[in-house]
Amino acid sequence: MEDTFTPEEQAALKEFRVSISDIVSTYDEYDSHDKNLIRWLRAKDLHVKKAEDMIRKQVKVREETEQLQYLPFPDDLLEKLPFRIAGYDKQGTMVTIIPAGIWEFKKLVLAGRNRDIQLYLSQIFERYFRYMKSTCTVETMKTQVVMIADFHQFSIQENISPPVLSFFIQLLQLFDANCPEMMKTAYAINVPKIFSVGWALIYPFLSQRTLDKVRIIGGGPDKWRKVLLEDIDYRELPSDYGGSNTAHPYVLRKSFRRNMASSRTILSPRRFSHCVHTSKGKIYKKLKTLSREPHILEFQDRVL
């Protein structure tokens, strides 16, 4: 659906471009592409005026957050809220793993770090947009991401409280407002039975379009690995999630950055298929280049 437009969508796009021509004139080739603009229309069920209001509000927000892509990630948030770039699905959409079960979200919220969390997550999205701009062409353009939320070790006591739920719902609403249709699919795995309690409080605040993309997979690894491999090639998926690729560490965590201190550039996992341990930590050995062209992930000064 991301790459094709119905006749109704094509007509709405034409009208939308006219209504936001002042904005489009300031956009680059990526931002002004139909595959990017359609996100706003789909989020508002092709209602052009509502989509226009939405994108104009987002332009004001990005005036504040766009500069974040050039700043280093805060070390303490990388440690407490780690994430993992984990290859691509079978259609070439980037896959990101969120180890939600070990996120120290509640501690940060109770410490009054709400604004820091919001800016940190905005920074991740800005880096993603920049990365996609640097690697996509008109023919291969992607605007979405696949998310795998891993709830292993998740504890209601350690993660849930009224202030946390309130802020988390606020973040979800901000995400829907400023990154519409960015999520292709969200998988929730290693879900504990108690998860249903928190989910019941959250899902009423999500749009139906977002809910339709969420897949909560109950059961053990044998079940969710099978589901993941339906959409993600085993050569792309990390080995601990059912694939064969061993080159997917938490590339943005402080510990990994120390190991790579001598080089600020990390080659994409597409270039590697094996990891060895040395006295200085993990070193990734280049064994072969996979069929597609490799990308560069620059996680400090540039994209990821």
pLDDT of residue 161: 85
Q: For tokens 């504040």, what's the residue?
A: 64
pLDDT for 246 beyond 80: no
DSSP assignment of 190-254 equals S--TTHHHHHHHHGGGS-HHHHTTEEE--S-HHHHHHHHHHHS-TTTSBGGGTSSB-----TTSH
Cβ(84)–Cβ(251) under 8 Å?
yes
pLDDT at 183: 93
Q: What is the pLDDT of residue 271?
A: 32
**Which are the contacts of 46, defined by CB distance < 8 A and separation ≥ 6?**
8, 9, 12
Strands 183-189, 214-216: parallel, antiparallel or unpaired by DSSP? parallel
71-244, which class in CATH? alpha beta
Q: Residue 149: which residues within 8 A CB-CB, separation 6 or more?
A: 98, 100, 186, 187, 188, 189
Residue range 95-116, pLDDT digits in tens: 999 999 999 999 999 999 999 9
Q: Are the beta carbons of 66 and 118 closer than 8 angstroms? A: no
Tens of pLDDT, residue by residue over 44-92, are 999 999 999 999 999 988 887 777 777 888 889 999 999 988 889 999 9
Question: Domain residues of the chain, as ranges?
Answer: 7-66, 71-244
Question: What share of the chain in percent tops pLDDT 90?
Answer: 45
Amino acid at the residue 136 = C
pLDDT at 176: 86
Give whole-number Cα distances, 198 to 103, 165, 195, 232, 300, in Å: 15, 8, 5, 28, 35
Rg of the chain's alpha carbons, rounded to an integer? 20
Q: Which residues is 185 bridged to in the sheet?
A: 146
Kindly write down the DSSP assignment for every residue of the chain, as one continuous string: -TT---HHHHHHHHHHHHHTHHHHTT--TTTTSHHHHHHHHHHTTT-HHHHHHHHHHHHHHHHHHGGGGGSPPPHHHHHHS--EEEEE-TTS-EEEEE-GGG--HHHHHHTT-HHHHHHHHHHHHHHHHHHHHHH--TTT----EEEEEE-TT--HHHH--HHHHHHHHHHHHHHHHHSTT-EEEEEEES--TTHHHHHHHHGGGS-HHHHTTEEE--S-HHHHHHHHHHHS-TTTSBGGGTSSB-----TTSHHHHHHTTT-S-EE-GGG--EEEEETTEEEEE-----SSPP-EE--SSS--
| Reported pTM | 0.78
Q: Which two tokens stand for residue 195?
A: 């998860």
Mean of the per-residue pLDDT values of the chain: 79
